[in-house]
Structure 1
Amino acid sequence: MVQKARFKICLLGILCVAFFQVSAQHLISSSNADTWVAKDELGRAIDPANYKNIRKDKYAGIFYFIWQGAHGYDQHKGGAADGGIMPKTPGDTVSPYDITKLLKANPTGPKYGPIHAFHHWGEPYFGYYLADDEWVIRKHAQMLSDAGIDVIILDVTNAAIYLPQLTKIANTYMKMRAEGLSTPSISFIVNSAPKQTVNNLYEQIYKKGLFSNLWFMWKGKPLLLCPPEAVTPEIGNFFTTRHSWAWSKGQEWFADGKDKWPWLDHYPQSYGWHDTKDKAEQVAVSIAQHPMSNIGRSFHNGKQPEIFSTEKGLYFAEQWKRALEVDPEFVFITGWNEWVAMRFNDGASKTFLGKSIEKGETYFVDLYNAEFSRDAEPENGVTKDNYYYQLVDYVRKFKGSGKLPTYKTNASVTIDGKFEDWKKIPAVYKDDSGDTFHRKHPGWGRISEYVNTSGRNDIVESRITSDEQNVYFYVKTKDELTPGNSPDWMHLFIGVKGVGSAGWEGFQYVVNQKLLSNNRATLHSLKKDGKLGKAIAIKYRTSKNELELVIPKNKLGIAGNKFTLDFKWADNSPIDGNAMHWLDKGDTAPNARFAYRYIKE
């Protein structure tokens, strides 16, 4: 959102709270992502056993921003005539201005960019991207769907609706859905020039029926968050409207909470209601607030500590604690991909980072560094991908999750490269098709472009079975497998619960790090740092787009017929000790740090 110089209208990152109830149904991942397991870097577990069954009357939306690149790079230049991404000029040779890096280089006198220029609080894991980068749009849709996010709430709080970026996102989402993939739905949050902005959205999108399959429906109509003065009879008949802004207690706009949906609030957050005051319709959950209010990611128990624990998500957890107590219909999460804030020195703010400041001193309204930022999107820095998995965990605590089946019957297969016998195996695990999509798109300012061509073997299905002596694995790709001597080819990671050491990222073994012949591969043990340990030979076979292999149970430390095993396939993702590479290198099944779980009883 384009920040203005006055604190009273600070654009605090307005999370588009569009509840999304497509066809009156929840978002259900095409790959049953809510049954996947994971551990983040801090060792916090995501496990279906920890959650309730799916609750179909619960929804989660997240604030989503589409202004990256719409207002200039080295300097603020207003906006493009069509509201789209501004072309870069030969003079854009310095930005992105990364505040974290500027502070590291000069803590007492960081060399900020010009006044009003946009600054990044840190480096996104996917780079300093622009809002129309289709590769990033697809990654976001996949990650948010896997997390159980029903709707992205698009920030149009500064009157611009960014129609070209919105169109790119909507067209990408519709393509993904046509491919059988899941995406969130779409809604909007309006604040500045509300009548003009709402009319623009209505005339440009809703009245034309554009992207109607993506509209998030609430109480039978498309949801729109906007001030009440924008609601004409025509708008009121077409939309379900709610008023959304920051904070509740003592705020005139919030009144008694009826039809109010805060996107930011102090703990313990108040809730918005519609039918009766004792039935919560919505609660806000935020990762932090602002550097101006000195409420960062480490804020909890009523204070901002002097020593930060930025990576732990203490404020986020406290906000979720309140949300789970209130148990509303909808949780509005702030946020996902805000990343940038304008530099000011006009004296409109009297405080910054808990200290008094004067006119002429620099401040940033919404974001500053890792501590004072609100993105759950992974970062190349201290927060890494911890907030993403914390998001996944709490959304499942709120919405529930699917339950894992158990398998009792022993069933063998023959490792002969024919695969017909796999059709009878019931333990089937799906993966998204199409997520080997290549990237080639301009980056911010001086960054000419980002290129990622690591997508290679597109994994679509896995199976597993076992008998008295062995565990058997099967994997299928969309197209014919590349040769087995390709780098980082079709790794299989295995973690056996309750057996031996924890290994690396919960996996004690990896297969296919080295092929010995056309039908012999290696099973390596994995050390805690991700390095390879001892190896034994195992049998595998391939044909066209299918691969199967067998591992003796005793080589995995399994005794008897009852065991629990987590596994993951990865192609063209280096084993280099950085689990975040599963996000963007090659393809993994399941996505990112997630793993499938097989329970044999």
Structure 2
Amino acid sequence: MWEAVDALGRRVATRGVAPAPRPGKFVGIFYWTWHVGSSEPYNVSKIIAEHPAALNDYEHPAWGPWFAPHHWAEPLFGFYRSTDRWVLRKHAEMLAAAGVDAVFFDCTNGTFTWDEQYKTLCEVWTAARADGVPTPKIVFMLPFGPSQDSLTSLKHLYLDLYKPGRWRDLWFVWKGKPLIMAYPDNLTDVPDDPEETRLRREIREFFTFRPGQPDYVNGPSRPDHWGWLEVYPQHGYVKLPEGGYEQVPVGVAQNACDASGGHCAAFNLPDTYGRSYTRRKGHDRRPDAHMYGLNFAEQWDRAFELDPEFVFVTGWNEWVAGRHKHWGMKDNAFPDEYDVERSRDIEPMKGGHGDNYYYQLVDFVRRFKGVHELPKASPPKTIRLGGPASQWDAVGPDFRTWPGNTKPRDAQGYGSTRYTNHTGRNDLVRAKVARDRTNLYFMVECASDITPPSSPNWMWLLIQISPSALSAQPSASFPLASRPLPNWEGYHFIVNRAAPGVLEVCTGGWNWKPVGKARYAVNGNRLEIAIPRRLLGLPAGRPADIRFKWADNVQKPGDIMDFYLSGDVAPLGRFVWRWRE
């Protein structure tokens, strides 16, 4: 199990806070494949900051062409298109690490099913599954009603994807059949057209249908309705015979307000229910209130109260909204996204709240679905550096991460933007820790032979020491008496940063001081390091308790968000592995 602390110091739930695994609990997330990117990117937050006069002026030239999609801010991965395979692989790993079971593609507008985009995702995620990534599975959400557009999309998806059995391993199955959020009402027999009748009957029998309720307030109006977004307190959807509900929607924010009665409205109306709004306390007016996910937390409180089988989260990566001269009670209106407060994406952004919502999602998913106990360390063992790999066979836990994520990026973004990234180098796949009375031994394996130690930013090992494991009078040649210890993003030590084998202690922020040498050996795809316990302030007679991470070829030392962008880290992002005696 991976642990993490977010930028606000909030620790992601582990056993003790989260329950044991709860079979029959699932989490899905709304996901957008509509980033085709034919126009240049327009950043609403930037436009408003640079052109305040444009705020309510639909004709202002800063907005660009009419009907151009506008990003509420810049995603961490840039203004990407939904065919960017590098980004799709990142999404696969991040959502898998979060414990998300299904993504729901937004196909609620007309007959757009974004075929090239979803098929590219299926190709990338199938390859990721071959690498061991437990990616989410896929579901389509079609228009909110039994319209002709819905029928057209249903027939198209069935004939193009489901009937031929394409990417069957990625279909999310619910109640014994592939799930689709669509209305089956117009799958009726057609007089004098036996072929059309046969097709419609096939489709009716093939799927589990859960039609989407578009409204944020009214709740289910038919027994098979599912919700996608509601104001607090949300309803339960599909009553179960034994009591309880199949599904509850959970949103990051809602484009609604008191003036609209909680129903859908333009997100740039005053006092819409943004990220910092809660029904219990109203609007939090602090400038940084969007950082904390208050709305999201209140919505999860309701989900925990109703404890359904399935939680539907809105959302991951919508990012853009159309701009309308007048819509939803507002001139120059943005329906679904607007700015850092009035938006509902969880995918990390550049600046702003960064990756806070991602780890909040991880935390809530764990509290809902449960987690396993921390695995126990194997008995003490002395490792001979450079010796046979077999000496590690009996050492546990076996910390694993996914191979195949160091491929280069070379993809077109929105408009004329293009993204390239060739920093992937050593593909980290496995790690172990051993110990005896004198040393801690660290081993990391890569998918292929490790590059020479002379390579820049080569194979960093970052270590956190739990204060309870430190000696009262440490024998290390640096002060550890103060509490809390100086750290960078929680890490107290780093190896290989200044030079191969050099152990440094953090003196605060991205500042490090050498404290000794660690022996190391490279043997093909395996690196081994031995660090004296005394240099880490760990006495031989007290059980060690550490968290650690490997990183290679990071391009922006001191910027933890670069852990998502360059080289390779294990485990991903802010996650760490915990090892204790």
Per-residue CA deviations over 1:249-270 (Å, capped at 9, x if unaligned) read 436xx22x62211100111110
Distance of 2:399 and 2:204 partners within structure 1:
44
Per-residue CA deviations over 1:540-577 (Å, capped at 9, x if unaligned) read 11111111111111111112241211010000114622
Per-residue CA deviations over 1:23-72 (Å, capped at 9, x if unaligned) read xxxxxxxxxxxx100111000102423211111210000000011126x3
> Which residue does the alignment assign to 1:46?
12
> Which residue does the alignment assign to 2:32?
65
> Which residue does the alignment assign to 2:444?
475
Contact 1:36 / 1:47 at 8 angstroms: preserved in 2?
no
Per-residue CA deviations over 1:104-153 (Å, capped at 9, x if unaligned) read 21233352122211111000000000010101111101100000000110
Is 1:563 the counterpart of 2:544? The answer is yes
Per-residue CA deviations over 1:135-182 (Å, capped at 9, x if unaligned) read 111110110000000011011111211111111111111122223332
Partner amino acid for 1:407?
Answer: A
5+ residue gaps, structure 2, are: 56-61, 189-200, 256-266, 471-479
- Specify the SS of the correspondent of 1:514: coil
Q: Where in structure 2 are the equivalents of 1:182-581 lying within 5 Å? A: 182-191=134-143, 193-232=149-188, 233-247=201-215, 249-250=217-218, 254-255=220-221, 258-276=223-241, 278-290=243-255, 291-292=267-268, 294-302=272-280, 303-308=282-287, 309-345=289-325, 347-351=326-330, 361-407=331-377, 409-447=379-417, 449-498=418-467, 499=470, 500=480, 501=485, 503-515=487-499, 521-559=501-539, 560-574=541-555, 576-581=557-562
Contact 1:226 / 1:242 at 8 angstroms: preserved in 2?
yes
Measured on the aligned residues, the alpha-carbon RMSD in Å equals 1.7
> Which residue does the alignment assign to 2:194?
none
Contact 1:258 / 1:277 at 8 angstroms: preserved in 2?
no
> Which residue does the alignment assign to 1:30?
none
Contact 1:114 / 1:343 at 8 angstroms: preserved in 2?
no
> Which residue does the alignment assign to 2:473?
none
> Which residue does the alignment assign to 1:591?
572
Distance of 1:242 and 1:468 partners within structure 2:
59
Partner amino acid for 2:580?
Answer: I
Aligned CA distance change for structure 1 residues 47 and 304 (closer, same or farther; 3 Å): closer
Per-residue CA deviations over 1:380-403 (Å, capped at 9, x if unaligned) read 021200011001000111001121
> Which of 126, 135, 138 is residue 86 of structure 2 equivalent to?
135
5+ residue gaps, structure 1, are: 1-34, 74-94, 352-360
Distance of 2:355 and 2:31 partners within structure 1:
17
The alpha-carbon deviation at position 421 of structure 1 amounts to: 1.6
The alpha-carbon deviation at position 424 of structure 1 amounts to: 2.4
> Which residue does the alignment assign to 1:146?
97
Contact 1:339 / 1:367 at 8 angstroms: preserved in 2?
yes
Distance of 2:567 and 2:369 partners within structure 1:
31
Distance of 2:30 and 2:385 partners within structure 1:
49
Partner amino acid for 2:123?
Answer: N
- Specify the SS of the correspondent of 2:65: coil
The alpha-carbon deviation at position 274 of structure 1 amounts to: 4.2
The alpha-carbon deviation at position 248 of structure 1 amounts to: 5.3
Contact 1:417 / 1:542 at 8 angstroms: preserved in 2?
no
Give the length in aligned residue pairs: 526
Contact 1:154 / 1:187 at 8 angstroms: preserved in 2?
yes
> Which residue does the alignment assign to 2:52?
107
- Specify the SS of the correspondent of 2:497: strand
Distance of 1:527 and 1:41 partners within structure 2:
19
Contact 1:417 / 1:541 at 8 angstroms: preserved in 2?
no
Contact 2:41 / 2:79 at 8 angstroms: preserved in 1?
yes
What is the TM-score when the length of structure 1 is the normalising length? 0.85
> Which residue does the alignment assign to 2:133?
181
Aligned CA distance change for structure 1 residues 451 and 207 (closer, same or farther; 3 Å): same
- Specify the SS of the correspondent of 1:565: strand
Distance of 1:468 and 1:230 partners within structure 2:
72
> Which residue does the alignment assign to 2:196?
none
> Which residue does the alignment assign to 1:163?
115
Distance of 1:247 and 1:312 partners within structure 2:
26
- Specify the SS of the correspondent of 1:405: coil
Distance of 1:443 and 1:250 partners within structure 2:
39
The alpha-carbon deviation at position 408 of structure 1 amounts to: 6.0
- Specify the SS of the correspondent of 2:496: strand
Query: Between the two proteins, what is the percent identity of the paired residues?
Result: 37
Per-residue CA deviations over 1:474-495 (Å, capped at 9, x if unaligned) read 1111111111011110000000
